[in-house]
Amino acid sequence: MEQKKAITYTAGHASVRKQLLLFWIFFIIGAFTIGGGYAMILMMKRYLVEQYHWLKDEEFYDMLAISQVTPGPIAVNMATFVGYTQGGILGSVLATLGVSIPAVAVIIVIAIFFPGFKDNVWVQRFFAGVIVGVVAQIATIVLDLGKRQKWTIVSAVVCAASLGILFFVHQVSPVWLILGGGLVGITVEAFKRRGTVPTVGKSVS
């Protein structure tokens, strides 16, 4: 069986220009993406994978998976991780600051002015439209992730079970579902190496 080549992430010696560019890119992402971390993923991919070619698709989604299972906001985790791999420690700090500063500034402004406008019909309509746009962005990411997933019987069952739990058992934290999915993946791989589940890798058509 052909072995999948491991992806390694090492921080090279980045130029000052690249480190400043990391700050600027993540500042733009933080300033012009509404809807939180998951809504930022699409914009991150466009910059990091499609425009600057710093990451390959597989590397991007590997970093995304790591950012999901580590504590903290996914956008900040992603900025820190990408910043380090592309610009070392300084790149990591600058990317993290870049994605965080706009959010902090906007929250401060909203905290000061929003109470006086929250009942305004125009403000309500604005946020209603924002929610629709955010849903569309997240749906795009979900579809993209789904297309890239190498679906097996086990992964399909885990996905369906996780959706069922999220819909019907509201007390369960998504963190446990993510960790549970990872544990299932490790268990399946262990059994595959022992040759006790020969059909588990068959793709679902």
Q: Which of 39, 36, 35, 58 is nearest to 48 (CA)?
A: 58
CA gap 15, 32 in Å, rounded: 26
Residue 186 reports pLDDT greater than 80:
yes
* pLDDT 10s digits, 90-122: 999 999 999 999 989 988 988 888 777 777 788
Mean pLDDT of 53-61: 90
Q: What pLDDT is attached to residue 120?
A: 79
9 belongs to a structural domain:
no
CA gap 90, 22 in Å, rounded: 10
Mean pLDDT of 20-45: 86
Same domain, 143 and 167: no
Determine the structural domain holding residue 172 and report its residue range.
Answer: 150-205
- Counting Cα atoms < 13 Å in the Cβ hemisphere of 170 gives 0
Residue where a domain stops, chosen among 131, 148, 165: 148
Residue 205 reports pLDDT greater than 50:
no
6 belongs to a structural domain:
no
Residue 18 reports pLDDT greater than 60:
yes
The phi, psi pair for 65, rounded to 5°, reads -65, -40
DSSP 87: H
Total domains in the fold of the chain: 2
Mean pLDDT of 3-21: 66
- Among 6-20, 77-91, 129-143, top mean pLDDT goes to 77-91
Q: Which of 103, 138, 141, 80 is nearest to 27 (CA)?
A: 103
